Amino acid sequence: MKTLFISLALIFCFSTYNEILAQPDSSDIPNTQKTWWKEAVIYQIYPRSFKDSDGDGVGDLKGIIEKLDYIESLGVNMVWLNPIYSSPNADNGYDISNYREIMDEFGNMEDFDLMLSEMHKRGIKFVMDVVVNHSSDEHRWFKESRKSRDNPYRDYYHWWPAEKGEPNYRYSLFDPKGEAWKYDSKTNAYYLHYFSQKQPDLNWENPKVRQEVYDIMKFWAEKGVDGFRLDAFQFVSKDTSFPPLPKGYEKDVIKYYGMGPNLHKYLKELNREVLSQYDVFAVSEGAGSTFEDAHSLVDADRNELQMAYHFKGMDVGNSLEGYKLSELKEVYTTWDSAFAKKGWLSIFLANHDVPRMVSKFGNDSPEFRAASSKMLNTFILTMRGTPYCYYGDELGMTNIGFDSISQYQDIVAKNGYEKTLNEGGDIEKYMAELKFLSRDNARTPMQWNDSEHAGFTTGTPWLPVNDNYKEVNVEAEDKDPNSCLNYFREMVNFRMENPVLVYGAYELLFPDHKQVYAYTRQMGDKKMLILLNFSKEESSIEIPSEMKELQLLKNNLPEVTKQGLDLTLAPYQALIFSYR
């Protein structure tokens, strides 16, 4: 369980992977029903780290407004911001104390309104993060709830009266003791917190709680937001009798902790009350523990949510040993085939909860950083599903890799350290894993230029800037036609211009090739072949002879590639061909 503290992606990795749907046969019709959110390319911004406008070392909304021309220049047409609501910041905004206010450090509602209208002017849509599996313990609801057992807000949360004995064990993902029930002497009862003690779980069984959530979402939809990212949503419906966990439950945590009996009732209600009333979409963080679960969340015929993101791809390589390309291929191929006809997925290799994409799946050495980062962006932008690009990955930003626990800011890192010490665990191993897997790796300030603190702030940044900012920064990359940044822009445009990359069928080629991930995308007579060398070795591949009239459309490396049916790919080379 200890590694759970390292990477949040691991939270979701216990689900069984045995329910693989059959590959679609050739008569299956791919998921081609068109909608704007399928055609979007989403840019994720961690607002604390993007651009500080007032010198307090923390990014803010005015900073984002300053950089909207840059965001537009990327070609992306939607932005998702991590939570920006009032929060005591135990978990950097994922602990909300007021759902209708902006966090002081980030600005105020006027800034928000301006940011949204400036985005819309540029044709960029906006996704709001909605964190309603839990609130902050400093939210008014919780302050009331813990006052007395007969307080009107008591049932907004899950309480277990102490006279019933100790509640059955539940694991907390963020607690230094690993306990999800916290005793509160004021009313002699325990409250539930799947995440930290400062993030009590809301009780979705209570219709008043659900109504509050719908009202909050309507408040933001009325303001004009275009989408909602539903945080930790698979956990909202739980078996609230909290029975003892069966042996081996760790293998499928989600089944016992979330995806509860009423989830679909609530989702239909949410859809009826909010989603169907506006031109918005909702994406669920997490996708249950089986393909049936995942489908049931986003199957268009069910009128619940529109999109899900699963963690299987992120779970690959969550250890110092790295990963095998075969695992990555298997995950993306089985998920794609499971969603070939119904439902819709997001495609991403990084976010604020996991290491930097290039450090994890590519190669962050100076020699290969740029090539591998471009290759990974080629992957994200040529798969079926809506691509999510994490800020800084367009530049090839890398893990910072802290050495000492005092450098970390993340609650998961700090509490995990304490837990490892408490349990007499291997602290050296923990620190080595943290260096690679910590969430802080992906949260360092955006690198704008080679001035002090990379132009992120005039003050002291809340998290240090990565040392490589002198070379890896927007200003330098903007000028270099071969930079990661300019390649990213080209690739975003390329995806926007080629609907086959959005809707076309995906087929894996050479499943056993150890270095090259090869696949085709096909829609009608539009056909593309994508070849990605995931290794630092040259790799050869023989293009199937039935592919005619091959034409090279994209190459992430400036070098000319020997063309012909026998191809040699340079380390981390990415090539896209059209063919007939």
Among 4, 6, 8, 442, binds ligand GLC (CB under 6 A): 8
d(C-alpha 362, C-alpha 562), whole Å: 23
Query: What minimum distance in Å lies between the beta carbon of 10 and ligand GLC?
Result: 11
Query: What minimum distance in Å lies between the beta carbon of 133 and ligand GLC?
Result: 7
Q: Name the burial class of residue 307, with classes exposed (0-12), middle (13-18) and buried (19+) by CB atoms within 10 angstroms of its CB.
A: buried
What's the first-to-final CA gap in the chain, in angstroms? 50
d(C-alpha 405, C-alpha 409), whole Å: 9
- Tokens linked to 200: 């009590």
13 is a contact residue toward ligand GLC (CB under 6 A): no
CB within 8 Å of 573: residues ≥ 6 apart: 371, 375, 531, 532, 533, 555, 556, 557, 561
Q: What is the pattern of x (binds ligand GLC, CB under 6 A) and - over residues 334-353? A: ------------------xx
Kindly report each contact of residues 273-277 with a partner whose C-beta sits within 8 Å and lies 24 or more positions away, as own/partner. 273/214, 273/218, 274/214, 274/217, 274/218, 274/221, 275/305, 275/306, 276/303, 277/218, 277/221
Q: Name the burial class of residue 529, with classes exposed (0-12), middle (13-18) and buried (19+) by CB atoms within 10 angstroms of its CB.
A: buried
Angle between the N-to-C axes of helices 369-380 and 484-497, in degrees from 0 to 180, rounded to the nearest 10? 20
Q: Hey, which residues are catalytic here?
A: 231, 285
Q: Residue 338: how many CB atoms within 10 A of its CB?
A: 23
Query: What minimum distance in Å lies between the beta carbon of 95 and ligand GLC?
Result: 7
Q: Which is nearer to ligand GLC, 171 or 487 (CB)?
A: 171
Q: Which is nearer to ligand GLC, 226 or 353 (CB)?
A: 353
What type of residue sits at position 379? F
d(C-alpha 285, C-alpha 232), whole Å: 5
CB 481 within 8 A of CB 475: no
232 is a contact residue toward ligand GLC (CB under 6 A): yes
Query: What minimum distance in Å lies between the beta carbon of 6 and ligand GLC?
Result: 13
Q: Which is nearer to ligand GLC, 82 or 382 (CB)?
A: 82
Residues 119-138 touching ligand GLC, rule: CB under 6 A, are 131
CB 343 within 8 A of CB 300: yes
Q: Which is nearer to ligand GLC, 126 or 309 (CB)?
A: 309
Query: What minimum distance in Å lies between the beta carbon of 337 and ligand GLC?
Result: 26
Residues 80-109 touching ligand GLC, rule: CB under 6 A, are 91, 94
Q: Which is nearer to ligand GLC, 157 or 517 (CB)?
A: 157
254 is a contact residue toward ligand GLC (CB under 6 A): no
Q: Which is nearer to ligand GLC, 107 or 258 (CB)?
A: 258
Q: Which residue is nearest to ligand GLC (CB)?
A: 94
Among 137, 175, 226, 231, binds ligand GLC (CB under 6 A): 231
d(C-alpha 256, C-alpha 245), whole Å: 7
Among 43, 153, 159, 195, binds ligand GLC (CB under 6 A): 195
Query: What minimum distance in Å lies between the beta carbon of 228 and ligand GLC?
Result: 14
What are the residues binding ligand GLC (CB under 6 A)? 8, 91, 94, 131, 195, 231-232, 285, 352-353
